[in-house]
Amino acid sequence: MENAELKYEFYIDATIEKVWDALVSPEGTRKTFFGCVIRSTFEEGAPYEYVGPGNDGDETIHVYGSILKYEIHKEMSCTEHPGPSYRENHAQLETRVTFTLETVGNCTKLKLVNDQWPANHPSYSNASQSWPMILSNVKTYAETGKTLDFGW
């Protein structure tokens, strides 16, 4: 049996452009994704990696995959695998992550769906705990320019 999809919606008091930058720009992801930057050409079918401090030093690949859809300021969807230093069978552990943005009044609605979880995926529990932290960080950063202190 598959794991349930992880689904989150946040309303952010910032423009779509600011929220988008927090999700994909090197400066934004470094601040909101625990010191990582996303490396990709962002073309559909292109590979991407979230790289930053971790098990393998400053160049640890935390997650990687392929871009499925990339529409600036609207949607980014990609496959996602845990980095090689996390799981020996990382290539077989694939899920899908989709970020969508829309303007609601004078704020931005950020929706994240992380789905297509295979049964017994070893990263499911970690992802269900990490996504709310990351998305809260995106919200805080887009609204204030600061990030949350999780005490690590």
Closest Cα to residue 20, out of 35, 5, 42?
Answer: 42
When pLDDT is averaged across residues 142-148 and rounded to a whole number, the result is: 96
- By DSSP bridging, strand 107-115 and strand 6-12 are antiparallel
Indicate the CATH number for domain 6-144. 3.30.530.20
Q: Could you state, in order of their start, the residue ranges of all structural domains in the chain?
A: 6-144
Tell me: the pLDDT tens digits for 84-140?
989 899 999 999 999 999 999 999 999 999 999 998 899 999 999 999 999 999 999
- Structure tokens given for 114: 């992380």
| Cα diameter, the chain | 46
φ, ψ (nearest 5 deg) of residue 35: 85, 5
- The whole-number pLDDT of residue 1 equals 57
- Residues 8-44: pLDDT tens digits? 999 999 999 999 999 999 999 999 998 899 999 999 9
Which pTM does this prediction carry? Answer: 0.93
Counting Cα atoms < 13 Å in the Cβ hemisphere of 44 gives 7
